[in-house]
Amino acid sequence: MASRILIVEDEEKIARFLELELSHEGYEAVKAADGREGLELALEGGFAVILLDVMLPGLNGLEVIRRLRKSSDVPVLMLTARDAVMDKVSGLDMGADDYVTKPFAIEELLARIRVLIRKKESSETAENRKTLVWGALTLDSAGHTVRYGEDIIDLTKREFALLELMLLNKNIVLSRETFIERVWGYDYMGETNVVDVYVRYLRGKIDEVYGVSMIRTVRGVGYVVKDDKG
């Protein structure tokens, strides 16, 4: 399957050129002409690399990275103006993986894209081996599946993230604030008791079904999964 690459670039000439070159290399190129559209597409996921111009209408490239990094670790390669040193520094600070300066040589850009894809693939292989276990329950991080024995437990994205966080931090009591920050994100404005609601969902799908007490409440503090069989 062709790797998809998102091009966020408002200069039509550059965007078209990149699209042609990338297609020629066997990538599937998708274009966005402003920051807002670029961010939206990027958040939908499925891209191997994102090429991101800095000076963009709507949202600038730095703001796109900042928002994207709250929920995605997709490799981002910035396209910056030759003299915009601050853009490069801020971009890397915000979580961009690399940059090229305009005007760029296409061969260099393609080489950097290949490096980013390889890096990402090797980190995913490492992640693939990450299986978290609690008694008969196994959580496969990369495959996004949870099993109890042979049963597959059907969890929503948030339920999965909540459970994963607890299993990664076995024996450590996590506060509601920590859950909010790590599962819902810093800009979540709602009540922290949403955590209690999700813990209740998880207990309904796991603890109650299998007669275990995996998720323990620590009154006044938060929740913990202890390293035992319940």
Is 53 a binder of Ca ion (CB under 5 A)?
A: yes
Dihedral, 30, 34, 35, 38 alpha carbons, nearest 10: -20
Q: Which is nearer to Ca ion, 55 or 180 (CB)?
A: 55
Q: How many residues bind Ca ion (CB under 5 A)?
A: 3
10 vs 37 by CB, closer to Ca ion: 10
Q: How far is the CB of 117 from Ca ion (least distance, A)?
A: 24
Regarding 43 and contact with Ca ion (CB under 5 A), the answer is no
Instruction: Kindly tell me which of 67 and 102 has the beta carbon lying closer to Ca ion.
Output: 102
Q: In whole angstroms, how close is the CB of 55 to Ca ion at the nearest point?
A: 4
Round to whole Å and give the CA distance between 121 and 106.
22
Q: Least Å distance between CB 11 and Ca ion?
A: 5
Long-range CB pairs of 173-179 (<8 Å, 24+ gap) are 173/218, 173/221, 173/222, 173/223, 173/224, 174/222, 174/223, 174/224, 175/221, 175/222, 176/222, 178/222, 179/222, 179/223
C-alpha 198/C-alpha 123 separation (Å) is 30
Q: Which residue is nearest to Ca ion (CB)?
A: 55
Instruction: Report, in Å, the least distance between residue 53 CB and Ca ion.
Output: 4
For residue 159, state whether it binds Ca ion (rule: CB under 5 A): no
Question: Shortest distance, CB of residue 170 to Ca ion, whole angstroms?
Answer: 47
Structure token digits, residue 134: 């609690």
Report the residue from 14, 43, 55, 173 that binds Ca ion according to the rule CB under 5 A: 55
Give phi and psi for 6, each to the nearest 5: -95, 130
Q: Is 10 in the site for Ca ion (CB under 5 A)?
A: yes
The residues that touch Ca ion, with contacts defined as CB under 5 A, are 10, 53, 55
